[in-house]
Amino acid sequence: MNFMVTSFQYALEMIINFDAEVFQTVWVSLYTSFLAILFAALIGIPVGTILGLTRFPGRRFILTLLNTLMALPTVVIGLLLFGFFSRQGPLGPLGLLFTPLAMIAGQTVLATPIIANYTVASVSGADSRIMQTALTLGAGYIHGAWQLLKEVRFGVMAAIVAGFGRVIGEVGVAMMLGGNIRGYTRTMTTAIALETSKGEFAFGIALGIVLLTVALFVNVFMYRLQQKQ
């Protein structure tokens, strides 16, 4: 018990003293997650909007695929992309494996189905008069869809926040594609997993506290968005 308390004290000291290694790890986690979410939103929101607004052959298959991808273990995504980025893989010559870019790519793949699925739900559940009103006022379908997204903006923001929550807390993709290189690809989750096994328990606790704080903010933000919706 004493060990736990002492570790917790060390962890708090690290946070209060802005320990360089802790905050370097937090920074890598945050910037890779933010960029991954940005790319995932750029893909997932239009895909979700099209799937929510239109009916075409194969739509149901794509929806099932997106649902399946949402439940896919992160290590499986990491494994697939590892194949693409490894030396013998199709993207091997780019030399992306064990770089933040590879992590961002993997996390984008991870978050896109979540954002797309949430967007489909928001768009499908939106008032059918929104699109019709925009069209009768002279908008085209793209402008009408943009107006619809503005009307269901809280649902879309919830999609982005949910995607961010998934990405910031995942370990499989970051570990397999980033390689946990100190100061370069080490994220909060990979550091917690590996440093703790090396006996750096206080360091793990410090990162755990930051991760929990981020998760708390994400959840509070999600809750507020749902309340507004």
Partner 1 sequence: MDLNRSENSSCARHFPEDKAVPVDPLLALRNIEIKRSNTFTLKIDALVLQPARIYVLTGPNGSGKSTLLQLLSMLIAPDQGDVSFSGNPVRTGSDRKRLRRQITLVEQTPYLFHGTVYDNLAFGLRLRDVRGDLQRERIIKALKIARLDGFENCSAKALSGGEVSRVALARALVLQPKVLLLDEPAAGLDADILPIFEDCLKKSAESGTMIVLSSHDDEQARRLDAESLQLDSGRLARGGEASEDNPVACL
Residues near partner 1 (CB under 8 A) are 127, 129-130, 132-141, 143, 147, 150-151
- CB closer to partner 1, 147 vs 196: 147
Among residues 170, 198, 211, the alpha carbon closest in space to that of 75 is found at: 170
- CB closer to partner 1, 15 vs 139: 139
- CB closer to partner 1, 154 vs 221: 154
Distance between CA atoms of residues 206 and 13, nearest Å: 9
Per-position b or e across 85-116, b if 16+ CB within 10 A of its CB: beeeeeeeeeebbbbbbbbbbbbbbbbbbbbb
For residue 153, what are its two tokens? Answer: 């903006």
CB of 69 to partner 1, least distance (A): 32
Phi, psi of 165 (to 5 degrees): -60, -40
CB of 149 to partner 1, least distance (A): 12
- CB closer to partner 1, 13 vs 127: 127
Per the CB < 8 A criterion, the answer to whether 177 and 103 are in contact is: yes
- CB closer to partner 1, 53 vs 79: 53
CB of 43 to partner 1, least distance (A): 26
- CB closer to partner 1, 60 vs 150: 150
CB of 75 to partner 1, least distance (A): 42
CB of 61 to partner 1, least distance (A): 26
Per the CB < 8 A criterion, the answer to whether 156 and 226 are in contact is: no
Contacts of 185 (CB under 8 A, 6+ apart): 28, 98, 99, 100, 103, 174, 178, 179
Residue found under tokens 């939103």: 41
CB of 129 to partner 1, least distance (A): 4
Per the CB < 8 A criterion, the answer to whether 40 and 115 are in contact is: yes
For residue 95, what are its two tokens? Answer: 């030399």
